[in-house]
Amino acid sequence: MSAQTPSWRAGPLELEFDRSPDAPVSLARLVSGELEIRFEHALPLVGILTAGRGHVTSTDRLVQTAIGDSLRYVSHEAGATVLRIVSASADGLRATTTIDALGTALRASATVENAGTGPVLLTAVTSWAMPLGTRLDVGAAADPAADWELLEGRSEWLGEGRWEARELRALLPDLHPEHTEQPPRESVVRTATGTWSTGGALPLAALRSQRQDVTWLCEVAHNGPWRWEAGEQIGDAYLAASGPTDRDHQWSLLLAPGESFTSVPALVAVGTDLEHAAAALTRAKRSARRAHPDDRRPALVFNDYLNTLGGDPTTAKLLPLIAAAAEVGAEVFCVDAGWYAETESWWDTVGEWTPSTRRFPGGLGEVVDAIRGHGMVPGLWLEPEVIGTGSPLARSLPEEAFLSRSGIRVEESGRHHLDLRHPAARAHLDETVDRLVREFGIGYVKLDYNIDPGPGTDRDATSAGAGLLEHSRAHLAWIDGVLDRHPQLILENCASGAMRADSAMLSRLQLQSTSDQEDPLLTPPIAAAAPLSMLPEQAANWACPQPEMSDEAIAFTLVTGLAGRFHLTGHLDRMTPAQRALVAEAVRTADGLRPDLVASVPLWPLGLPGWTDRWVASALRAPDAVALSLWDRGDDAGETTLAFPSLLGRAVEVRTAFPAGLPAWATRWDAGAGLLTVRSTAGEPGARSFALRVAD
């Protein structure tokens, strides 16, 4: 590694940086696998804003910061998989960029230390900032911003993972900044506020150039507020990411001399197209995930909630469901919301998490014993971070155990929110989980989260945003503690569906509910897009068969479950034997898919789905096979053609994996074009799961 041009290689990933005595460190070259990108127009590696020093030219961007421009190289430390670059400013701030190699992707964060003699009020710190660069074997574009397309996603309760592509130049006017010799001041900005980190704009941004065959993915990995922005510099476009900021999230942090702050991490991947980059990001997340026994063989879960018991479980309702779930092959039975409620109206009374005696006259243990007696692992739903305003715990826990603003406890939708920085809040949660595991042998917990408390808490914090960031990090530490004590316990992440489906949570938890959507016809685009945001084996898509459905409708919703991690519900106990046999066939199919599922990367042979598209497709590519899920939401027979460029020129066998007993959809493979044409049957919406295997 040259002292003049720091470079670092970690397997297939290679980075090279420019540094000189009169300029900040900047990324100069990146090699990821067979891709080599050059960055001719420098952008400081770190952007730092403080109350005392803002931007070079006035703007609300994360870049063009006075401190970032003033940082100068001090040293670097290169390990086998970790690189640290230290820079410093003349006024006493030191910035350390830490880069972890994750295969062909990377994870980056920045640590800012006050090495001066007076206090510093931080207002923003970038996790990662980079120009988009130029592929070495292609060359620069005349208009760099026009070379790129922005792909961004949005989520909403019941409508998660809706992706849209727009030309970057259509979002950023061409201002000819070379005439003023100043970069533009506007950028495309997306943020999340509060704790629903994926409840609106998604923390993953994609920028792709068809001319260069390059796609960048950048994701902020944080279970709270974040910001990413895409903009234009002189000579290039850029991408920057951060956690909370003062401008967006009421975050500021006072650093006394000797104190430091580390940003939230960002994940960065690059590929020749979206699928190539998504594969790199998927493998990176898989390699950085907390290890758990469930990773190797994801359990097949039945949950009683969606379109079934709906938060109103009783012994009488559960026992026949338990027997039916076991009959079709479920391995976990999760009793969802309501098991603790003595009344029908329980929303604002939650918090103690003790079983209802009215719902379970023989005790909850009778239900748990029935689950275990049928060979399944018992599970329970919890919403641990909230205390209902009518709960006794709202009065007995100390005031400091709750989020508050100016001494006033935060209330949202009839709930108070625990502050997990406080030992009493953590002790309550620990006691709850430990008690349920000890008394009932619970092996699965669904962690739900149905409120967003807003900017945070200013108790014992410089700002509300700083308090929220500390709470969010304490929440992750609490999850780690639960799994340290109960390493076999399976934890499901849920937040009104997927309102907090970020990579910080999913680096720890085993699965993620992809939506609360109750209409089976609306769930395919959610299920198909989910593997862009999470691992395929984490994407728990509801399969919601019901006895009043036709066989085609039952198969339709079961294919949705098979598109990721199979997650079953429905009144199986009311079904005919033939209907239950169809469900059992899907469970067996899910079982057979598991070995490939945990090694798969996502494909979208029709592109990412539109919310109203008739045809929706997603595929999971494993080393030896491709599992294709295909939905036709039309009422008449139709035909579609799917692209598999990775199978171009190969002889491919196409087999219907599910369902075996319904009319087959005709398929035709064109090896020369890498295209699969499929024709559906007429009459009503339908879906099929296909297995594609290379025959040559």
CATH number at residue 382: 3.20.20.70
For residue 475, pLDDT over 90 is answered with yes
Whether residues 281 and 299 fall in one domain: no
Question: Sign of the C-alpha dihedral, residues 51, 56, 61, 62?
Answer: negative
Are 641 and 623 part of one and the same domain?
A: yes
214 SS3 class: strand
- Give the whole-number percent of the chain exceeding pLDDT 90: 96
629 close to 527: Cβ distance less than 8 angstroms? yes
Asked if the structure places residue 606 within a domain, the reply is no
Above pLDDT 70, what percent of the chain? 99
| pLDDT tens-digit series, residues 279-336 | 999 999 999 999 999 999 999 999 999 999 999 999 999 999 999 999 999 999 999 9
pLDDT confidence bin for 175, thresholds 50/70/90: confident
Q: How confident is the model at residue 1 (pLDDT cuts 50, 70, 90)?
A: very low
So what's the pLDDT on residue 139?
87
Q: Are residue 163 and residue 189 in the same domain, yes or no?
A: yes
Same domain, 214 and 330: no
Q: How confident is the model at residue 116 (pLDDT cuts 50, 70, 90)?
A: very high
**What average pLDDT score do residues 140-151 get?**
95
Q: Are 566 and 300 in contact (CB under 8 A)?
A: yes
Are 495 and 472 contacting, i.e. CB atoms less than 8 angstroms apart? no
Q: How many helices (H) and strands (E) does the chain have?
A: 13, 42
Quick check: is 550 in a domain?
A: yes
Same domain, 118 and 229: yes
Say what angle helices 364-373 and 315-328 make with each other, to 10 degrees. Answer: 10
Mean pLDDT across 19-31: 96
* 336-366 pLDDT, tens digit each: 999 999 988 899 999 999 999 999 999 999 9
Give the pLDDT band (50/70/90) at residue 167. very high
Q: If you average pLDDT over every residue of the chain, what do you get?
A: 97
pLDDT range class, residue 177, cuts 50, 70, 90: confident
Residue 620: give the domain boundaries.
615-694
Number of domains in the chain: 3
Averaged pLDDT for residues 643-664? 98
CATH number of the CATH domain containing 673: 2.60.40
CA distances from 619 to 401, 539, 683 (A): 45, 13, 25
Together in a domain, 249 and 349: no
Reported as a single tens digit per residue, the pLDDT across 365-412 is 999 999 999 999 999 999 999 999 999 999 999 999 999 999 999 999
Q: Tell me which DSSP letter residue 307 carries.
A: I
Return the pLDDT at 176.
84
Question: Does 1 map to a domain?
Answer: no
Q: Which of 244, 269, 288 is the last residue of a domain?
A: 288
Do residues 524 and 438 both lie within one domain?
yes
Rounded distance, CA 366 to CA 184, Å? 66
Q: List Cβ neighbours of 423 (8 Å cut-off, separation of 6 or more).
A: none
Helix (H, G, I), strand (E, B) or coil at 50: strand
Instruction: Answer whether 600's CB lies under 8 Å from 589's CB.
Output: no
Domain boundary among 600, 623, 641: 600
Whether 609 maps to a domain, the answer reads no
Instruction: Determine the pLDDT at residue 280.
Output: 99
Same domain, 121 and 234: yes
Cβ neighbours of residue 628 closer than 8 Å, sequence gap 6 or more: 605, 617, 618, 619, 642, 676, 689, 690, 691, 692
> Is the residue at 610 inside a domain?
no
> Among the three residues 552, 570, 600, which one is the final residue of a domain in this structure?
600
Domain-located, residue 607:
no
Buried b (16+ CB within 10 A) or exposed e, 560-572: bbbbbbbbbbbbb
Q: 168-185 burial, b for 16+ CB within 10 Å, e for fewer?
A: bbeebeeeeeeeeeebbe
Per DSSP, which regions of 468-507 are E strands?
490-493
Is residue 128 a part of any domain in this protein? Answer: yes
Q: Residue 49 sits in a domain of what CATH number?
A: 2.70.98.60
Q: How confident is the model at residue 4 (pLDDT cuts 50, 70, 90)?
A: low
Beta strands 675-679; 639-643: pairing state: antiparallel
Residue keyed to tokens 């799994």: 483
The verdict on 328 and 267 lying in the same domain is no
- Residue 437 and residue 563 in one domain: yes
**Over residues 618-632, mean pLDDT:** 98
pLDDT at site 647: 97
In a domain, 411, yes or no: yes
Clarify whether residues 638 and 585 are in a common domain: no
Express each pLDDT in 419-472 by its tens digit.
999 999 999 999 999 999 999 999 999 999 999 999 999 999 999 999 999 999
Do 282 and 304 lie in a common domain?
no
Is the confidence at residue 182, as pLDDT, over 90? no
Q: Which residues have CB under 8 Å from 375's CB, separation 6+?
A: 326
Candidates 15, 600, 627; CA nearest to 275 is: 600
- The CA distance from 155 to 355, in Å, is 34
Q: What are the strands, taking DSSP E only, across 103-259?
A: 105-114, 120-131, 134-135, 149-154, 162-167, 187-192, 201-209, 214-220, 226-233, 236-242, 253-255
Q: What's the pLDDT tens digit per position in 554-575?
A: 999 999 999 999 999 999 999 9
